[in-house]
Amino acid sequence: MKQVVLIIATIYGGLSVVFGALGAHALKKVLTAEQLQSFEVGVKYQMYHAIVLLVLGLQLSFDRRLQTMMGWSFILGTFLFSFSIYLLNMSSAFGGNLKILGPVTPFGGLLLIVGWCLLLIHVLKGFR
C-alpha cells in the first residue's frame, strides 16, 4: 500500500501541474470565468492531496487498517472530486452534458473529509 500511495501521489502531483497549465492557457479561451474558477478548484485540491499522500507515504507504513483506509479515502476522494470537476467543466464547454457526474463531486469531497478524520484519529492515537 505504501508504494501505491507514493505512486499515486506523484501521478496526482504531476497531473495537477499539467491540468493547471491547461486551465491557465488552452482552456482560458474555451471556459467561462465561472467554469475556469471551478476547474482551478479541482487542480488545487488535487495538488493539496497529492502533497498529503506524499507525506503520508513517506511517513507511514500502512500496516494498520486505519492507515490503509485513510490512504484509499484520499486517493479515491481526490480522483472523484477533482476529475469529476474537470469532466463537468470540459463537457459543458464543448457542448456535452455529463451532469450525471454532478453527485460524484460531493461524494469525492466526502471521502476527502473521511480521510482527514481518519488522519485525526491516527494522530490522536499517537498521543496515547
Q: Residue 94: what pLDDT?
A: 73
Instruction: Kindly report the pTM of this predicted structure.
Output: 0.93
Q: Residue 46: what pLDDT?
A: 98
Listed by start position, the domains of the chain span 2-126
In a structure prediction context, what are the per-residue pLDDT tens digits for the chain, which is 128 residues long? 999 999 999 999 999 999 999 998 988 888 899 999 999 999 999 999 999 999 999 999 999 999 999 999 999 999 999 999 999 988 877 777 787 888 999 999 999 999 999 999 999 998 76
Per-residue CA distances from 66 to 2, 18, 86 (Å): 13, 32, 30
Q: Residue 128: what pLDDT?
A: 67
**Which tens digits make up the pLDDT trace of 79-101?**
999 999 999 988 877 777 787 88
Q: Residue 58: what pLDDT?
A: 97
Please report how many Cα atoms fall inside a 13 Å half-sphere around the Cα of residue 34, on the Cβ side.
3
Four-residue CA torsion sign, 15, 21, 26, 31: positive
Which one, of 109, 108, 105, 87, lies nearest residue 97 by Cα? 87
Q: Residue 5: what pLDDT?
A: 98
